[in-house]
Structures are given as C-alpha cells and as structure tokens.
Amino acid sequence: MGNSPSADSSGSYRRHGPQFTDRIVAEPSGETEWTVEPGRYRLVVSLACPWAHRSLIVRRLMGLEDAISLAIVDPLQDDRSWRFSLDEDGVDPVLRQRHLEEAYLARDPEHGTDNGVSVPALVEESTGRLVTNDFPHITVDLGIEWAKYQRPGAPTLYPPELRAEIDAVNEGVFHDVNNGVYKAGFATRQSRYEEAYTALFARLDELDERLADQRYLVGDHITEADIRLFTTLVRFDAVYHGHFKCNRQKLAEFEHLWPYARDLYQTPGFGDTVDFDHIKRHYYQVHTSINPTQIVPLGPEPAAWLEPHRREDLGGSPFGPDGTPPAPLDGPLRPLPPLDM
C-alpha cells in the first residue's frame, strides 16, 4: 500500500505492481538476489496496510523477530507518504530516516513520491537502501528462504505439494477480494463500482461455500492462502463494508467465512498483529476524497472476534501435526495517542 489511490480515465482503480522486485534468498545466483543474513535487513510495515500485514504475520509465525528487525510507520501519511513520526523525534532509530521515501531514494535517486512509496519494504540497515517492496514474494521468501533461522515448530506455509492449489486460490482472492475492495472503493463510475462489487461478493460466496466442510482454504493447516485472505477479512466490517461501499452484507453475516476469520484471529500470529486503531485512522483520515470529514467510526466492537468459532470440529491444526504456536507478544505493537477531539 502506498499513496492515496485514484482511478484512471475509465473510472477503474488500477493497482501498480511492486517496482523493486529483488529477492532475499539463501543461495543468491544473480544481481537481483540478496543473501539471507540475520541482522542485515529491516522490515518496514504499516499496521493499517493489508499487504504489509501479511509480512508481519509471517515474520511472527516463522519466529524471525531476532533475524529481521521491525519498523512501524504512522498510519497517517504526509506529502512524502509513509513517515516514522511514531518514533522518538520522528526518526527511525535504526535507519536514521524520517520517511520511507529516503530508502527508495537511496536505492534509486530518480525515484520520487509520485512513483509510489509502498509497504511492506525490506531495507538494508547499514546503507538505508531499499532492497525490495515485492509484497507477494516477501512472505513466500520469509517462509522458505529463511528456514535456517526460523523457530522450532514453525509451520510450512507454502508446501510444495499444495503450491498449485494455493496459487490458484490466491489468484482469485487477489483480483476479486484483496484488490476487489479497492476497485469498488475507488471507482469513479457506477458501472466500474458495480463490476467490482459483483465480483467481490461472488468470490466471497464461493469461499464461504469452500469453507463449509474444511477448516482452512488449502490442506489441513494454515498456508499462504489463509494469510492473504485474512488481512482483507479482518478489515472488512471496520472499513470496506461502509468506507468502500462493499455493503451487500458484513463479514459477520457469512455463515462460514465469519467463524473461519475468528478462528484465524484467535490463532497466535494473526489477531495479535491486528490494530484496529491504526486501520481505521488510516482509511478514514487519509482517503479524504471518500471521507472528507475524516471522522473515524467507533465500531464495530472488536470483542466479537473472540467469540467461540468451533472450527476445530472440522479437523486440522493451525501449525500442522508437528508445529507449535509462536510465543506470546509482550504487548501491543505500536499504540497511538487518542484522537484529537
């Protein structure tokens, strides 16, 4: 997620793919591959952003906190996009930067804010230089390439025997759900909005049916597919239902998707990386073309996410037969000050 999105001349929202697609791998073989090395990289995320949230979940599930440091940006952007204004003196203590744009400029001096400054981003600590903002591959590589430094009991999120099915599920979820809510929310023509809205709920209906008799989207434990869907679902009722006009029904009104989402939320690594305050402040205060008053809604009540789900009756286990949950977090990731009244 980068700067405030907009529609093209047809009234359709177009998402631009990552511009820096280098990979961090265990055995580099080319100029665009960097070496896995603990303490070398800093993961920069926004707790508001669903695309960045994926990498935060995977880092935690894999137990890579000691290997890859974490920076959390302010959910509110300025004219230079994501900023480190939640840190002391507004400067990231490791990168010594005020804006993530500085890491982009260190990588490419010709890169300006107009070209997009997005999270998640992996930045080399010693140089402050952006390595990659390739959000689809960041999570896959954290799950595979960093195996040497993962915690005991870490799950296998992208098992070879299930990759074709995971990829197929992810493809539909990306176009119709992850990106679909944005296509509905930022459409500037009625027809484009209705196309996105129809595709979104057709896909959600399909997923709801898929989850009627299986606990997870693919296989019998959490995979990349569940992580990619969850970060949209957890924002659905708080943001997308009203703010993006995705209002045929709430997530809480789906027979199977709602208990499925609660099951994931109550799994260590998922709910403990959700911050509804960051989420709502970003969407409702940054997207002034949609919400010019910048009023942030108080609801919905987050306690509903802790209601029993009974999905364990379908079998399977979150981390696989030999997996274990990550250790509990010490506290909230990055609390915000009270809203100005």
Q: Which of 49, 158, 260, 265 is catalytic?
A: 49
Give the helix/strand (H/E) hosting 35: strand 33-35
Q: Which of 182, 193, 197, 216 is catalytic?
A: 182
Active site residue 240: no
Cα separation of the two ends of the chain? 28
* Inter-helix orientation angle 224-235/163-173, to 10°: 20
Question: Which is nearest to 208 in space by CA: 253, 257, 174?
Answer: 257
Cα 17 from Cα 134, distance rounded (Å): 8
Active site residue 49: yes
309 phi, psi to nearest 5 deg: -115, -30
Cα 238 from Cα 298, distance rounded (Å): 9
Sequence-distant (6+) residues with CB within 8 A of 159 are 219, 223
Residue type, 221: H
Sequence-distant (6+) residues with CB within 8 A of 204 are 177, 254, 257
β-strand pairing of 23-25 with 33-35? parallel
β-strand pairing of 129-132 with 121-124? antiparallel
Cα 62 from Cα 273, distance rounded (Å): 14
At 101 the three-state DSSP class reads: helix
**Catalytically annotated residues:** 49, 182
